């Protein structure tokens, strides 16, 4: 797959495993009847989400939120990303050898597909090969040497890597490790909590319980995933009781939900980093002092308070805030006087920021940033673009000196690899493309000792935040509306895992 196609998928949120876009979740229907019933789940969970009529329940052919809800209802992953870090799902353990060039994964005892057949290590290998061959998802498994990987026995798979990856669980398995019978999702046979009963990508699907899935971990006997594209319509649907949970709502929803409903957020991994990329390949941001000046001029507290309405926090130019392993010592501070001095020394008096409301609030943020830069002696022109076409020409966007974007929140260690360096798949700023920084990133991957690896992450994070081209000014909670009494579910990279946490 061409890199520009991949970046477009990430930016527009059409691939769960790589970009980590926002997808769907589930809830219980009719809290009163639930309370009267036993602990056994006997309800129908109803969720509304954005869809795509051309989708299939196949991760290589899925883009819509509703579609990914269906995929995660049918299939399990070895590991998922929970609220603050990785959580085992189909796998029970994943252990490295001494240098993290080989990982041994053990499957859950008694795991079965919906047809009653056992989930085996051969199914895992076949599924990973399917993913590796996918144009959308394949790059996520680029570090796995599938030709040298093997099934040690029916429940144990040994994964060989091309290079050391001490972060293999959180950065690879938790991102892309769905398992299908015989490695073929087209069969529709998975080990997840549900089985497709009927439906289509245009309208949604109905699912019935997978009788071979552990009953105490399944949230309901039935699941309905409905396609409702308009956010206001999703709000009305949950307010009326037509659905149990409406996914991905604007901040205003917190004030428009009525009756027996509430706003719900799944935690740091379900949040978005809103920000700006400073293009370090072109003037003026090929000058580190220009980058520092821009960062010092930003009033992150004001941006977050104004735009998030209590549903988010200021950012520190580093992904992963709130997640396990985030360097708490990294804190961005505003210094208008210093920013003004650095801008003047660099000869910067005017800038243009290109933006689009691909995530609500991005345009408003751009105008607030313009006001803040004005205090530092720089006139910022805001170039508002059509959100529907904003990411259509990624190469052209990456030639601009300054443009707005957002990133799904993910662990800092993964974020450093993902957004910087020569091999950073989403390195939109161009920063760190040199042998010295690449070697430092490689050292993190080769350091098996967790404490020593964290020290390296902390050190590189400070440099990344202070000198890099990524400005992440705020971390916004992803908001969902639900009927009160709906149980929490894991949201893995924004995608729902329809089992008990």
Edge-to-edge strands of the sheet including 350-355? 312-314, 470-476, 272-278, 402-408, 350-355, 379-384
Report residue 440 as tokens. Answer: 């430092």
In a domain, 30, yes or no: no
Q: Total domain count for the chain?
A: 3
Report residue 472 as tokens. Answer: 């992440």
In a domain, 24, yes or no: no
Would you say the C-alpha torsion 263, 266, 267, 271 has a positive or negative sign?
negative
Predicted local distance difference test score (pLDDT) of residue 271: 94
Which of these three, 172, 187, 202, is where a domain ends? 187
In a domain, 34, yes or no: no
Q: Are residues 65 and 121 in the same domain?
A: no
Q: Are residues 354 and 261 in the same domain?
A: no
Are the CB atoms for 490 and 26 separated by under 8 Å? no
Predicted local distance difference test score (pLDDT) of residue 23: 27
* Cα separation, 139 vs 6, whole angstroms: 9
Radius of gyration of the chain (CA): 23
Q: Are residues 448 and 490 in the same domain?
A: no
Cα end-to-end span (Å), the chain: 35
* Cα separation, 57 vs 51, whole angstroms: 12
* Cα separation, 141 vs 60, whole angstroms: 14
* Cα separation, 390 vs 280, whole angstroms: 20
In a domain, 6, yes or no: no
In a domain, 19, yes or no: no
Which of these three, 131, 155, 187, is where a domain ends? 187
Are the CB atoms for 72 and 497 separated by under 8 Å? yes
* Cα separation, 193 vs 31, whole angstroms: 21
* Cα separation, 244 vs 31, whole angstroms: 10
- The burial of 53, by beta-carbon neighbours within 10 Å (0-12 exposed, 13-18 middle, 19 or more buried), is given as exposed
Phi/psi of residue 347, nearest 5 degrees: 70, 30
For the chain, how many helices (H) and strands (E)? 15, 23
Q: Are residues 393 and 425 in the same domain?
A: yes
Three-state DSSP class for residue 412? helix
Q: Are residues 111 and 155 in the same domain?
A: yes
Report residue 489 as tokens. Answer: 């579910």
- Enumerate the β-bridge partners of residue 95: 104
Listed in order, strand segments (DSSP E) in 140-297 are 144-153, 156-161, 178-179, 194-200, 204-209, 222-227, 245-249, 261-264, 272-278
In a domain, 7, yes or no: no
Predicted local distance difference test score (pLDDT) of residue 345: 98
- Enumerate the β-bridge partners of residue 471: 276
Q: Are residues 260 and 277 in the same domain?
A: no
Which of these three, 187, 202, 222, is where a domain ends? 187
Report residue 258 as tokens. Answer: 């009525």
Q: What's 436's domain CATH number?
A: 3.10.105.10
Q: Are residues 201 and 240 in the same domain?
A: yes
Q: Are residues 235 and 278 in the same domain?
A: no
Nearest to 336 by CA among 299, 382, 288, 366: 299
Domain with 183 in it? 76-187
Crossing angle of helices 435-446 and 412-419, rounded to 10°: 150
* Cα separation, 458 vs 451, whole angstroms: 11
In a domain, 425, yes or no: yes
Model pTM greater than 0.85?
A: no
Q: What's 50's domain CATH number?
A: 3.40.190.10
In a domain, 29, yes or no: no
Q: What's 175's domain CATH number?
A: 3.90.76.10
Q: For the chain, 501 residues long, give each residue's pLDDT as a single digit of tens.
A: 444 444 444 444 444 433 333 223 333 334 343 433 333 444 899 999 888 888 999 998 887 888 989 999 999 999 998 888 899 999 999 999 999 999 999 999 999 999 999 999 999 999 999 999 998 888 889 999 999 999 999 999 999 999 999 999 998 999 999 999 999 999 999 999 999 999 999 999 999 999 999 999 998 999 999 999 888 999 999 999 999 999 989 888 989 999 999 999 999 999 999 999 999 999 999 999 999 999 999 999 999 999 999 999 999 999 999 999 999 999 999 999 999 999 999 999 999 999 998 888 899 999 999 999 999 999 999 999 998 789 888 889 999 999 999 998 999 999 999 999 998 988 999 999 999 999 999 999 999 999 999 999 999 999 999 999 999 999 999 999 999 988 887 888 777 788 887
Report residue 323 as tokens. Answer: 């997640």
Q: Are residues 326 and 442 in the same domain?
A: yes
On the CB side of 449, how many CA atoms lie within 13 Å of its CA? 4
Q: Are residues 330 and 469 in the same domain?
A: yes
Pairing of strands 261-264, 245-249: unpaired
Q: Are residues 165 and 247 in the same domain?
A: no
Predicted local distance difference test score (pLDDT) of residue 388: 76
* Cα separation, 327 vs 315, whole angstroms: 12
* Cα separation, 349 vs 367, whole angstroms: 17
Q: Are residues 122 and 135 in the same domain?
A: yes
């Amino acid at each position: 797959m061409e890199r520009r196609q991949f970046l477009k998928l990430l930016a527009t949120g059409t691939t769960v495993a790589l970009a980590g876009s926002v997808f769907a979740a589930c809830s219980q229907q009719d809290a009163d009847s639930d309370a009267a019933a036993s602990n056994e789940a006997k309800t129908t969970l109803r969720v509304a989400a954005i869809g795509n009529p051309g989708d299939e329940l196949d991760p290589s052919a899925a883009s819509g939120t509703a579609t990914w809800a269906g995929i995660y209802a049918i299939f399990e992953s070895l590991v998922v990303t929970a609220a603050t870090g990785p959580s085992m799902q189909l796998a029970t353990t994943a252990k490295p050898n001494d240098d993290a060039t080989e990982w041994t994964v053990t499957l859950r005892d008694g795991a079965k597909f919906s047809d009653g057949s056992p989930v085996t290590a051969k199914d895992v290998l076949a599924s990973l090969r399917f993913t590796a061959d996918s144009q959308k998802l394949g790059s996520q498994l680029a570090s796995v040497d599938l030709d040298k990987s093997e099934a040690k026995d029916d429940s144990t798979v040994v994964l060989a890597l091309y290079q050391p990856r001490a972060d293999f669980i959180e950065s690879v398995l938790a991102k892309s490790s769905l398992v299908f019978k015989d490695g073929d999702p087209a069969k529709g046979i998975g080990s997840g909590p549900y089985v497709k009963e009927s439906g289509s990508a245009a309208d949604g699907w109905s699912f019935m319980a997978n009788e071979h899935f552990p009953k105490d971990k399944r949230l309901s006997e039935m699941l309905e995933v409905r396609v409702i594209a308009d956010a206001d319509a999703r709000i009305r649907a949950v307010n009326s009781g037509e659905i149990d949970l409406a996914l991905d709502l604007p901040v205003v929803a917190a004030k428009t939900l009525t009756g027996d409903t509430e706003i719900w957020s799944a935690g740091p991994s379900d949040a978005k980093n809103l920000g700006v990329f400073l293009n370090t390949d072109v003037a003026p941001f090929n000058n580190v002092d220009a980058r520092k000046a821009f960062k010092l001029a930003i009033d992150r507290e004001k941006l977050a308070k104004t735009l998030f309405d209590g549903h988010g926090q200021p950012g520190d130019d580093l992904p992963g805030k709130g997640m396990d392993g985030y360097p708490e010592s990294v804190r961005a501070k505003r210094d208008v006087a210093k920013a003004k001095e650095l801008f003047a020394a660099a000869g910067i008096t005017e800038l243009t920021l290109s933006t689009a409301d691909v995530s609500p609030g991005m345009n408003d943020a751009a105008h607030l940033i313009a006001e803040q830069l004005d205090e530092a002696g720089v006139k910022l022109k805001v170039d508002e673009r059509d959100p529907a076409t904003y990411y259509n020409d990624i190469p052209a966007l990456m030639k601009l000196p300054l443009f707005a974007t957002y990133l799904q929140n993910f662990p800092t260690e993964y974020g450093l690899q993902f957004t910087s360096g020569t091999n950073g798949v989403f390195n939109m700023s161009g920063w760190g493309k040199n042998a010295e920084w690449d070697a430092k990133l490689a050292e993190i991957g080769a350091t098996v000792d967790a404490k020593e690896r964290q020290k390296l992450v902390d050190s590189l994070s400070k440099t990344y935040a202070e000198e890099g081209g990524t400005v992440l000014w705020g971390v916004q909670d992803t908001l969902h509306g639900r009927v009160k009494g709906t149980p929490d579910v894991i949201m893995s990279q924004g995608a729902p895992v329809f089992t008990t946490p």
